[in-house]
Amino acid sequence: MIQAEKFDTPFKGRSLLTWVDYTPEEILQILDYAFLVKKQAHAGEVHQRFLGKTIALIFEKRSTRTRSSFETAFGEEGGHPVFMSTDDIQLGGKESVKDTARVLGRMFSAIEFRGFKQEHVQQLAEYSGIPVINGLTDDYHPTQALADIMTLKENFGTLKGLKWAFCGDGRNNVARSLMVISAKLGIDFAIFSPKELFPPKDIQEICAPFAQASGAKIEISDKISVVKGADCLYTDVWVSMGEESLKDERTRLLSPYQVNKDLMKATGKTNTIFMHCLPAVIGQEVTSDIFEGPASKVWDQAENRKHTIKAIMLALI
Ligand code: CP
Ligand code: NVA
CA of 114 to the centre of ligand 1 (A): 10
pLDDT of residue 1: 44
Tens of pLDDT along 157-182?
999 999 999 999 999 999 999 999 99
Q: Is 101 helix (H, G, I), strand (E, B) or coil?
A: helix
Q: pTM (2 decimals)?
A: 0.97
Q: How far is CA 151 from the centre of its chain?
A: 12
Tens of pLDDT along 179-193?
999 999 999 999 999
CA of 268 to the centre of ligand 1 (A): 30
CA of 278 to the centre of ligand 1 (A): 6
Closest Cα to atom 2, ligand 2: which residue?
240
Tens of pLDDT along 207-236?
999 999 999 999 999 999 999 999 999 999
Per-residue pLDDT for 2 more than 90?
no
Closest CA to 74 of 98, 56, 94: 56
pLDDT of residue 38: 98
33 within 8 A of 57, measured Cβ to Cβ: no
Q: How far is CA 169 from the centre of its chain?
A: 15
Dihedral angle sign, alpha carbons of residues 137, 143, 144, 148 = positive
Q: Distance between CA atoms of 3 and 101, rounded to whole angstroms? A: 31
Domains of the chain: 19-140+304-316 (3.40.50.1370), 143-302 (3.40.50.1370)
Q: Distance between CA atoms of 42 and 55, rounded to whole angstroms? A: 24
Q: Work out the percent of the chain whose per-residue pLDDT is above 70.
A: 98
Per-residue pLDDT for 239 more than 90?
yes
Closest Cα to atom 7, ligand 1: which residue?
64
Tens of pLDDT along 240-268?
999 999 999 999 999 999 999 999 999 99
Partners of 190 in the beta sheet?
165, 219
Closest Cα to atom 6, ligand 2: which residue?
240
pLDDT of residue 91: 86
Which are the contacts of 91, defined by CB distance < 8 A and separation ≥ 6? 58, 60, 84, 97, 100, 120
Q: Distance between CA atoms of 159 and 176, rounded to whole angstroms? A: 19
